[in-house]
Amino acid sequence: MKTNNKKAWLYLLPTIIFVSLFSIFPILRALGMSFQSGPLINLQWTGVSNYQYIFTDPEFWRALKNTLLYAVIAVPSALVISIFLAWSIFSKIRHQSFFETMFFMPYVTSTIAIGIVFRYIFNGDYGMLNFLLRLIHFPAPNWLDDPSMNMTTLILFGIWTSLAFNIVILMGALRNIDPNYYTLADMYGASGNEKFWRITMPQLVPTIAFLLTMNIIGAFKIYTEVYALFNGQAGIGNSATTAVYYIYNKFQMVGTPGVAMAATVVLFLIILVVTFLQRKMMKRIGR
Partner 1 sequence: MKFTRKIAVTAIAALALLGTAACSKNGSSSSSSSSSKIPAKITKKTTVVFWHGMSRAQESTLKSLTSDFEKKNPNVTVKLQYQGQYTDLQAKINSTLQSPNNLPTITQAYPGWLWNAAKSKMLVDLKPYINDKNVGWGSASASDINTDLLSGATINGTQYGIPFNKSVEVLVYNKTLLDKYGVKVPKTMAELRSASEEIYKKSNHKVVGAGFDSLSNYYVLGMKDKGINLSSKVNFTGSDSKSVINYYAKGIKAGYFRTAGSENYLSGPFANEKVAMFIGTSAGEGFVKKGVGSKFTYGVAPRPSTYNMQQGTDIYMFSHASAMQKAAAFKYIKFLVSKSSQIKWANKTGYIPVTKAAMNAPAYKSSKTSKVPAQLAKTTKHLYSVPVTKDSNAAYGQLNTIMQTIFAQAQKGNWDSAITAGKAKFDSSWKQ
User: Which chain residues interact with partner 1 by CB under 8 A?
Assistant: 1, 20, 24-25, 28-29, 32, 36, 38-45, 53, 56-59, 119, 125, 144-148, 230-233, 235-239, 250, 252-256, 259
Task: Report in angstroms how near the CB of residue 98 gets to partner 1 at its nearest.
Answer: 35
161/215 with CB nearer partner 1 = 161
DSSP H helix total and E strand total for the chain: 14, 2
Task: Report in angstroms how near the CB of residue 21 gets to partner 1 at its nearest.
Answer: 11
Task: Report in angstroms how near the CB of residue 2 gets to partner 1 at its nearest.
Answer: 9
Task: Report in angstroms how near the CB of residue 212 gets to partner 1 at its nearest.
Answer: 27
103/227 with CB nearer partner 1 = 227
160/196 with CB nearer partner 1 = 160
Task: Report in angstroms how near the CB of residue 69 gets to partner 1 at its nearest.
Answer: 18
Contact assessment for residue 264 and residue 85, using Cβ atoms and an 8 Å cutoff: no
Distances in whole angstroms, Cα of residue 114 to Cα of each of 108, 159, 212, 276: 11, 13, 23, 33
175's CB contacts (< 8 A; 6+ apart) are 90
Cα separation of 71 and 267, whole Å? Answer: 13
20/88 with CB nearer partner 1 = 20
Count of other CB atoms within 10 angstroms of residue 147? 13
Cα separation of 223 and 248, whole Å? Answer: 9
Contact assessment for residue 234 and residue 242, using Cβ atoms and an 8 Å cutoff: yes
99's CB contacts (< 8 A; 6+ apart) are 89, 93
147/192 with CB nearer partner 1 = 147
Task: Report in angstroms how near the CB of residue 40 gets to partner 1 at its nearest.
Answer: 5
41/136 with CB nearer partner 1 = 41
114's CB contacts (< 8 A; 6+ apart) are 106, 161, 228
